[in-house]
Amino acid sequence: MATIDPAALANAQKWLLMHIDSETKAYIEKLKADNIDEFNDSFYQSLEFGTGGLRGVMGIGTNRMNKYNVAMATQGFANYIQANNAGKQCKVVISFDCRNHSREFADITAKVFAANGFKVYLFASLRPTPVLSFAVRELGCDGGVMVTASHNPKEYNGYKAYWSDGGQLVAPHDTNVIAEVNKITDISQVKTQQTNDNITLLHEDFDDIYLRHVMALSLSPQAIQQHHDLKIVYTPLHGTGGQIIPKALRMFGFTNVNPVPEQLEPDGNFPTTASPNPEEHSALDLGLKMAMKLDADILLATDPDADREALAIKDHNNQWILLNGNQTASLITFYLLSQWQKQGKINGKQYIVSTVVSSELIKRIAADFKVKCYEVLTGFKFIADKIHSLEGKEEYIGGGEESYGYLISDFVRDKDSVSACCIIAEIAAWAASNGKTIYDILIEIYQNYGFFHESLLSIVRKGKSGQEEIASIMRKFRENPPTHLLGQRIVKSVDYLNSSATGLPVSNVLQWFLEDGTKISMRPSGTEPKVKFYFGVASVLSDAQSLHCEEQKAESKIQDIQKELSL
């Protein structure tokens, strides 16, 4: 029989003493009486305002996304922004996605900031994360908030916090904001207002400012003119992308853009898919069905806040294949660098950014074009921070990570699927103008730089016990790492908790390299209850016909490694 967790009981009692509404109080008492497991999970801890903000299951409780936790987090964030901008009226901009309660949470956030004397810009309707990041810089704001849980299941919502550079919080602001948020322990400490004083609504005309920057990214306008009728199928998976990406593609010059009608309308219940995560192949089922029906050239999909994109293309047998994030990032990197080189824009001062768990192929491509490739920790805020640190010194071309996120140019400081979708479509047009397809370009990349195959294994462990098990898994491999795998020595082992060895901020990441270049990385997710294992295998691709065989060999090798690690 389940028993009440003492910490959960203490947290619930504190909430019952706060100035919360009677309906919430009644729900807490009923939950404690009727569902002890849910009561414990709702209250055993406070929902952590982590280095990226808040994210959690929606509901009542200290460990849930709700109006009280959003208001208290906002008060702490407001206090920190004001402390860093003494003597001036601070400004923030707020956006929200399609999720249930996103608009409500955005309104609460706006009214707390406004009550604290901020000039607040609030998007009148849902907008993608990259538009929010752009708006922070364009409007000269001191911070920003995006209400979203990105690609998480429908039960989740979240709150991404941004600094004045348009990037998510990094050191020292991340830990300092957390400290300020943790000081807000009662809703009575929160300033709020019922009116819309100091709140300015942003409408669709702001999109045009952002889209003018996106249009300027085009590197092959002649190819688009020649192949403007390329058949593009696009699905926003019920998210914010449907409001802007078809428009952006048409502005880029594409005249045959076909949104998936069943998934075009925003809906926080995501009724046509089990998960709104474009990394999961099943999320693209409806898009693939439409792409096959139309005999499309490419299929594009974006997640609910439209910061990440997925790409599906046809192989030489006219079969649809879904590219992973590393493949798409490699394609974009190769295209950008080849066009920059062709236009004589590379002079040794340019750079791209990748992450420590992304494909080694990206570094090889950059080296061939004599462009620097900086590696950062997982999380796009680190790419944004690298751009910020090199501003005025070196020129950023693009950057990405394996989890389907890419950023072209630097007017946005977070993942941007709007510009990425436009450039991917342009790559398809450019390939067609050379008598090729994107698949042909991918094959050529593998033949020139080596075949790289990556795979991700996620072990999900929910709740308090799951959190403890994830910590135990990481501790086991940190304290007792293998010395060999598949009969090969581990020639390099990196523990990112040791920053002096990596030159990067401390992070709970382990990484091993085998003699043949195989790379294995592991880290707990920062946004979901899972530990992630990344595998990368390299070999040689002699011809296009060998690709399937090489993929099978690489996948078999990865499965053998997983068995040896008892995963």
The reported pLDDT for the residue numbered 462 is 83
What's the order of all strands across the beta sheet hosting 405-408?
A: 372-376, 350-355, 395-401, 405-408
Token pair recorded at residue 201: 């609504």
Percent of the chain with pLDDT over 70: 100
* CA atoms lying within 13 Å on the CB side of residue 500: 0
The reported pLDDT for the residue numbered 123 is 98
Alpha-carbon distance of 277 to 52, in angstroms, equals 19
Mean pLDDT, residues 454-462: 91
- The string of pLDDT tens digits covering residues 90-122 is 999 999 999 999 999 999 999 999 999 999 999
Whole-angstrom CA distances from 397 to 333, 367, 369, 388, 441 are 9, 14, 12, 13, 20
Q: Is the pLDDT of residue 303 over 70?
A: yes
Mean pLDDT, residues 212-236: 98
With cut-offs at 50, 70 and 90, classify the pLDDT of residue 2: confident
- Residue 433: exposure state from Cβ atoms within 10 A (0-12, 13-18, ≥19): middle
Count of other CB atoms within 10 angstroms of residue 197: 10
Mean pLDDT, residues 449-474: 90
The reported pLDDT for the residue numbered 1 is 64
Q: Is the pLDDT of residue 534 over 70?
A: yes
- Residue 368: exposure state from Cβ atoms within 10 A (0-12, 13-18, ≥19): middle
Any idea what DSSP says for residue 544?
G
Domains along the sequence of the chain with CATH: 1-44 (no CATH), 50-202 (3.40.120.10), 210-449 (3.40.120.10), 451-564 (3.30.310)
- Residue 33: exposure state from Cβ atoms within 10 A (0-12, 13-18, ≥19): exposed
What string of H, E and C letters represents the secondary structure of 278-313?
A: CCCHHHHHHHHHHHHHHCCCEEEEECCCCCEEEEEE
User: Can 500 be counted among the known catalytic residues?
Assistant: no
The reported pLDDT for the residue numbered 50 is 74
Mean pLDDT, residues 497-510: 86
Alpha-carbon distance of 465 to 357, in angstroms, equals 27
- The string of pLDDT tens digits covering residues 304-347 is 999 999 999 999 999 999 999 999 999 999 999 999 999 999 99
The reported pLDDT for the residue numbered 527 is 74
- Taking the whole predicted model, whether its pTM rises above 0.85 is answered as yes
Residue from 102, 133, 150, 419 carrying the catalytic annotation: 150
The residues near 152 (Cβ < 8 Å, ≥ 6 apart) are 55, 158, 277, 527, 528
User: What mean pLDDT, rounded, does the chain reach?
Assistant: 95
- Residue 500 C-alpha from the chain's centroid: 27
Q: Is the pLDDT of residue 268 over 80?
A: yes
Three-point CA angle 330, 331, 335, nearest 5°: 115
Q: How far apart are the first and last CA of the chain?
A: 31
